[in-house]
Amino acid sequence: MDTDVTTFDPAIKPDLEEEARISARYTEMLASAKLQFAGQTVNLAGLGPYAEDPDRSYDTMRNGAVVVFRRNAAELDAIYDQLVKLRHACAEACFKTYTPLGYRRLRRVDYGRTTLPGIGAGGSARRASCGRLLEARRSRTAGTAAVLDEP
């Protein structure tokens, strides 16, 4: 794709390789996290089925994910810092900031800086309207009063 071509410059190849190594380390760290729960050892993905279970006894387990991030906070912060610096350096090869490079990497080329404020403003009103509708539906289902104020 054209966007792939515009996000690569031979000068940043070593940075891209380093970014891949750092991203792999991040993924490996999170994938290898183990927690004891309900007599079994689970990883973060294994917590998924319990994440929204209404059983309050799972609250301790849900906090296990927070423990994993706290336990690894220094390394996660270092990874984040390295990625920000690498991505900024890559962006400087072609752009002033990382934002246009990030959009191209995600293949988001159908809008830009001039269209985003309008999207945000309209989206904000739509999200609020949608939120009110959902809250009203939940209130009817639960037989309770709506929490959100009417506009």
Range of the domain at 144: 114-151
For residue 100, what is the enclosing H or E element? helix 98-105
The answer to whether residues 108 and 119 belong to one domain is no
Confidence band of 6 (pLDDT split at 50, 70, 90): low
Do 90 and 19 fall into the same domain? yes
Same domain, 132 and 79: no
Quick one: 125 and 107 in the same domain?
no
| Same domain membership, residue 17 and residue 34 | yes
> Which range, of 17-31, 37-51, 101-115, averages the lowest pLDDT?
101-115
Q: Among 1-10, 42-51, 104-113, 124-133, name the most confident range.
A: 42-51
Residue 104 sits in the same domain as residue 124 = no
Q: Which two tokens stand for residue 54?
A: 């209404």
Whether the CB-CB separation of 109 and 102 falls below 8 Å is answered with no
74 shares a domain with 42: yes
Q: Are residues 23 and 34 in the same domain?
A: yes
Residue 34 φ/ψ, nearest 5 degrees: -120, 140
pLDDT digits (tens, 9 = 90+) for 45-102: 877 777 777 777 777 666 777 778 888 889 999 999 999 999 888 888 877 888 777 7
User: Which residues on neighbouring strands pair with residue 40, listed in sequence order?
Assistant: 37
Q: How many domains does the chain have?
A: 2
- Using the predicted structure, report yes or no on whether residue 120 has a pLDDT greater than 70: no
Check residue 149 and report its DSSP letter: P
**133 and 143 co-located in one domain:** yes
122 — pLDDT class (breaks 50, 70, 90): low
On the question of pLDDT at 148 being above 50, the answer is no
| Same-domain pairing of 84 and 29 | yes
Query: What confidence category does residue 149 fall into, taking pLDDT thresholds of 50, 70 and 90?
Result: very low
Question: In this predicted structure, which of 32-46, 75-89, 122-136 has the lowest mean pLDDT?
Answer: 122-136
Percent of the chain with pLDDT over 90: 16
Burial of 28 (0-12, 13-18, 19+ CB in 10 A): exposed
